[in-house]
Structure 1
Amino acid sequence: MDVPAIMPLLEAMGRVGASTVDHLILSHADNDHIKGAAALMAHDEVAVKALWANPDSTKLSEAFIDLLTVAADRHKRGLIDVRTNLNVGANGALDCGRIGVRILHPGILWAGVGPAKGKHPVGSITSNGMSAVVRIELDGSPAVLLPGDLDAKGFAEMQRVGVDMTAPVLVFPHHGGRSGAADNREFARELAIAVQPDLVIFSHGRSSFLNPRKEIVDGIRDALGSKVQIACTQVSRACHASSLPASTSGQSGIYSRFACAGSLSITATSRGISWSPGVRRHSVTVDSLESPMCRTRELDADHRMLQIEKE
């Protein structure tokens, strides 16, 4: 789901020996979620069978137009299916054997309206608010929640219709940036309560903004305390403003040496969901940072005990 850059995805596919993408899902049309998608579809050694994306006439970026142009060309040549109905009405069409891909948002009403300005009867809907929220399931049990750039209004709509968002792993929306809510801390607290994750991942770039925002991390802690592990793919400038320590490693950010937890691998076992790198390996990097937001000494001690129990 989402392709901000093609190389990390190709490397991940190479590690597991994959050369086919059955369903390429794009949560919404922001550049940092789609920039590598056109190149992936056109790649000689990768077969993308189906593209799932919602229309968005508010997006005029070159990356979005390139994406649509490549998709149209490959569809014309019979090389790819293109679906522009990434909403709850498509549930069941994305499942692959034991793996379920459940679309939780947008619902039919919002999907029919699309991004809209304030004068619309349903009110304003931003591209972020329309961002597809997808839950990966294994044998019917929730595993990972992928909410794209879901904003406060989109989350409120999900709550209004009573969507079950629970999952042991949450990739936090909008890279841990502003949510569009009056109170970002309260937004994060309510989302954490709704999802009840054991692990929260912030997928972000070190060079972009100061994500995750401190009030977002604080909101997660308000809701879940020390029982939740927090991990960033790259070292946030809010955690370490100076040059990076030599201990930073991992896959995500490997070219720029910006990785913190790096690329995380989520695994389903008989004992539930586990992930790598675990707390102890992640702590090697975190211990060297100036002011890591993901934990305190007390929280780290709790996490080490939790990880030992899981292992």
Structure 2
Amino acid sequence: MSGVVPLPKQRSADELAAAILNVGHGNCSFVYDGTSGVVVDVPAVEPLLQEMATVGAQIVEHLILSHADNDHIKGAAALMAHGEVTVKTLWANPDSTKLSDAFLDLLTVAADRQRQGLIDVRTNLNVGADGLLDVRRIGVRVLHPGILWAGVGPTGATHPLGAITSNGMSAVIRIELDGNPAVLLPGDLDAKGFVEMQRANVDMSAPVLVFPHHGGRSGASDNKSFAIELARAVRPSLVIFSHGRSHFVNPRKEIVEGLREALGDGVQIACTQVSRACHQETLPIASIRSGPGPFSKFACAGSLTVTSTGEGIRWSPDAARHGQAVDGLESPMCRAHQTYASVAK
């Protein structure tokens, strides 16, 4: 885990960074090179628009939707239709099992804009698209699903491949910054999808892991073992749980324990929002605020920014800044043996 150190948040006209946004229960990442970039999932559009405004970005070269759950796509239609944002290409896989209004609205808006020549739409978000989503200094590696699973799609138990869930089909994206692996975004990857990636000998290594399914149940018989195996495959120095305080009680304790067992006390663990498993009462004033908006009042680490320098991958807020929020919590799971300083690099 050497060469991965925290970095104070900075802004510049030519900044290259991946922002893991505090969107409550859901996932949203904005990877930008200067004033344009790539969006991976968008459950709520306002935090994304705020981040884009902060860096002066108005162009989304690729809008990538890992799968069709609302906590990954609910804000996508609004983003595509926004009058001050240009979305050039939408990448999303078909999923006939999803009947939500948000997914149908998304497809309707995409079809309408495609007819007007305002957007390109690609429904082949699989390993065959790897390399087609790169943007200048941003590399986008599509690690899953493979061609076989992508061709079949979500299935029932009677299929020859067995049941494949929408979560199992969730696109797994590795972001590279200036040629360096930076962030693994597995969406809601489940245990069976992870086994399929292992079978295909996929290189999943990345210094930053946004843990799948917000730290909830993995679909495995043993969530701790799933966390251990995933952590050993990715070998991250920072693990992020992107979840909402007002929804499920994530991350699960056994998953955090699995990360510690696999990675040791040197790994930094950060949640975008304060988990009710860590603090059930009213939040202390020390909680980090991640800017204006409906999600900032619950922030723990809040939104995190990952950058690449000659010294390696860095991020903010760092362990010390995150520790200011953690200090006031009742039982923070991210502390190793109650000594947060051990995770600073």
Bin of the TM-score, shorter chain as denominator length: over 0.9
Contact 1:3 1:35 in 2 (8 A): yes
Structure 2 equivalent of residue 309 of structure 1 = none
Matched letter for residue 301 of structure 2: A
Matched letter for residue 305 of structure 2: S
Contact 1:253 1:259 in 2 (8 A): no
SS in 1 for 2:307: strand
Matched letter for residue 287 of structure 1: D
Counterpart mapping for 1:264-275 below 5 A: 264-275=304-315
Offset from partner CA, 1:171-200 (integer Å, 9 cap, x none): 000000000000000000000000000000
SS in 2 for 1:301: helix
Is 1:292 the counterpart of 2:329 in the alignment? no
Structure 2 equivalent of residue 261 of structure 1 = 301
Offset from partner CA, 1:267-286 (integer Å, 9 cap, x none): 11110001000001100000
Offset from partner CA, 1:120-141 (integer Å, 9 cap, x none): 1111100000000000012432
Q: Following the alignment from structure 2 to structure 1, what is the Cα–Cα distance between the partners of residues 81 and 98?
A: 22
Contact 1:101 1:134 in 2 (8 A): yes
SS in 2 for 1:227: coil
Q: Which of 234, 256, 279 matches 1:195?
A: 234
- TM-score normalised by the chain length of structure 1: 0.96
Contact 1:8 1:252 in 2 (8 A): no
Larger fraction in strand: 2
Structure 2 equivalent of residue 122 of structure 1 = 161
Q: Following the alignment from structure 1 to structure 2, what is the Cα–Cα distance between the partners of residues 17 and 179?
A: 37
TM superposition shift of 1:109: 0.4
Moved more, 131-140 or 280-289: 131-140
Higher RCO structure, 1 or 2 (CA under 8 Å, sep 6+): 2
Matched letter for residue 275 of structure 2: S
TM superposition shift of 1:298: 5.2
Contact 1:233 1:252 in 2 (8 A): no
Contact 1:234 1:252 in 2 (8 A): no
Structure 1's consecutive aligned runs of 4 or more residues displaced over 3 angstroms after TM superposition are 296-299
Structure 1 equivalent of residue 186 of structure 2 = 147
Moved more, 295-304 or 139-148: 295-304
Offset from partner CA, 1:42-86 (integer Å, 9 cap, x none): 000000000000000000000000000000000000000000000
Q: Which of 44, 52, 56 matches 2:91?
A: 52
Structure 2 equivalent of residue 89 of structure 1 = 128
- TM-score normalised by the chain length of structure 2: 0.87
SS in 1 for 2:140: strand
Q: Following the alignment from structure 2 to structure 1, what is the Cα–Cα distance between the partners of residues 234 and 150?
A: 23
Counterpart mapping for 1:111-260 below 5 A: 111-251=150-290, 254-256=293-295, 257-260=297-300
Matched letter for residue 207 of structure 2: P
TM superposition shift of 1:299: 4.3
Structure 1 residues 252 and 111 mapped into 2: Cα distance closer, same or farther (>3 Å)? farther
Offset from partner CA, 1:227-253 (integer Å, 9 cap, x none): 110000000000001111111123279
Contact 2:288 2:301 in 1 (8 A): yes
Q: Following the alignment from structure 1 to structure 2, what is the Cα–Cα distance between the partners of residues 157 and 252?
A: 39
Q: Which of 139, 142, 162 matches 1:103?
A: 142
SS in 2 for 1:22: strand
Aligned length: 305
TM superposition shift of 1:18: 0.2
Structure 2 equivalent of residue 277 of structure 1 = 317
Q: Which runs of 5+ in 2 are unaligned?
A: 1-39
Counterpart mapping for 1:13-28 below 5 A: 13-28=52-67
Structure 1 residues 4 and 233 mapped into 2: Cα distance closer, same or farther (>3 Å)? same
Identity %, equivalent residues: 72
